[in-house]
Structure formats: structure tokens, C-alpha cells
Amino acid sequence: MSTPHPQPVVAAVDGSEHSNRALEWALAEATRRGADLRIVHVRQYAPHLQPAVLVAGPDEPADDPVIGNVRKALEHRQGPPPLEFISREGVPAAVLPEMGAEAQLVVLGSRGRGGFAGLLLGSNGVAAARDAVCPVVVVPPPGRVVHGEAPVAPGPRVVVGLRLDDTGGPDETVLDFAFAHAARSGARVRVVAAYPWPPLVWSAFGDFTPTTIDEEAARQETLRLAEEAIAGRRKSHPEVEVDLYVAPGDAAGHLVENSRGADLVVVGRHRRRLTRPAPILGSVTHAVLLHAASPVAVVPPDGRAQG
């Protein structure tokens, strides 16, 4: 029986420097995965296009200058991955998540607007990260300034956020993605687990007050839970070096701080619930997408979170 061909990695291009950086990242990732690279341009300004039309026309019209330029730039490239070029007409925020149904990963650039280009994330990146059934990697512009002094060792590093609250426990798909990527790329994994401090309780006077819980006890308990959450990955990926970063405060801030010099930051989306059936990124994931200095992988909780 023949082995099924792996699904492709999809790279979204639009002719901008943002998408060129994303394309380079996608080329390297498709090679690591042994997958084809599907290079896609969604043309959203066709004269006949109506808002309700998501996909129309042939996959590769000859008059798409963006695809033509990418082809020319890559024509002398040798070796893997095999390349496929597709041009679609439609709304990128709808077409790109749709194409994720036939991909193991979608990669696109972070596109800022206005005077805060280094901070704002384009709507296409938000929509793809929120709606796609496969993981989505958003590659930021260079030069993002990240504050903080999180100690990091030299060498390639994958940072993953570990959720340890009462909303369903750690995201297994997020951890799987991070460890698989680290194993492929020869990186170590830094697991970031934050705990609120000081913890607050509702008082009899109708206000929140700090508890008397010792901070060191809270840190040790978070460390214990984190070790428990990743124990299985230590066994399944013994070749991957792991370190835990446990700290009080805001999880998003710690993830952004640890993104400095990282190869990738991996975060999850919120799980769907009866009270929240639509996909949603969540405040931590959204903040990391806005501010992280490294590429960010957003992994869906119930989709094909292939590493």
C-alpha cells in the first residue's frame, strides 16, 4: 500500500515585503515537513467581484502579476519543496481559511496599517488565525521591539504558552505542535506558564481582596502542574531539550517577552462552547499576534493541529 501524499503547506502572497518574508518561512517549513508548497494569491480587486463571491475563475490566470513575479523570483531555485502556484479571486479573509481545509499549515505575513504598522495586525491574518481548521503561522515585520529581561540560552528556541486554568486544562494540540516543530528544526522548547499574583477573592464587602496564599507556594504548584502537563511530551520527544518558565502576571506579556530571538511562538485558540460557538482567538493569542517579535503559530483546539 502506497503512503498517502502529505497535505501541502499554503503560503499567502500579495507582492508585499510582509508576504515575501512569510514565503521564505513557508519554503523552509515545507522542506522540513517533506510537503509541497502551495503559493496562493487572492485577488480581491477584480472589477466583477461581488462581496458574496469567495472563489471564482481558474486557479492560475496568466495575467496575475503577483504570481508571475513570485514564479520569476523562484525559477532558479533548486531542490525541495515542490511548488504549486494558485491565483484566486475573492475576499482573502474568507478564501485563506477555506484553503486551510486542504492544508496542514497556512503561512502569511503580518500586515500593519497606518502609523502603527509595527503593532497592528492585518484583518486577513486575524481571520485566518481565527477561522482556519489547520494551524496558521503569522510572520511579523522585522525590528519589533520587545521589552523585558527574560533569560534565554543561545540557540534555536520554540516558545509555547501553557494554559493551566479551569477551562479544560492544557491544550494538547498546542503542545503537540510545539514539540513536533522543535524536533524537526533541532530547537529546544521553552514552556511558559503564568499564574496570577496576587490571587484575589470576593470579600464580604463587595470587593476583591488579596488572599494570604504564599507566592512561592503558588509558583511551586504552577511548576508541578506544568511538569505534569508536559511529561508525555518529554517521553515522546526525548531528543528535545525542555525548560519551564514560570512567572507571575500576564501570560501574554511573558510570551511576548520570550519571543525575542525565538524561532516560533505557539499559542492556541479558545475552545468552542455552547455559549461561544463561533471561533475566537482569545485575548492572550491576539496580544501575542500583535506584539511578538517572532513568527507566531495559532493552533486550533479541535482541528488538524499537525506539528
> Using CB atoms within 10 A of its CB, is residue 284 exposed (0-12), middle (13-18) or buried (19+)?
buried
Q: Is the pLDDT of residue 6 over 60?
A: yes
- pLDDT reported for residue 228: 92
Decide whether 9-139 matches 157-299 in CATH topology.
yes
Query: What CATH number does the domain located at 157-299 have?
Result: 3.40.50.12370
Query: Would you say residue 42 has pLDDT above 50?
Result: yes
Q: For residue range 153-169, list pLDDT tens digits in order.
A: 788 999 999 987 655 55
Q: Is residue 249's pLDDT more than 70?
A: yes
What confidence tier does 120 reach under pLDDT thresholds 50, 70, 90?
A: very low
Out of 3.40.50.10860, 3.40.50.620, 2.40.10.10, 3.40.1190.20, select the CATH number for domain 9-139. Answer: 3.40.50.620
207-238 pLDDT, tens digit per residue, is 555 555 677 888 888 899 999 999 999 999 99
Residue 109 has pLDDT above 60, yes or no: yes
Q: Residue ranges per domain, the chain?
A: 9-139, 157-299
Mean residue pLDDT across the chain: 81
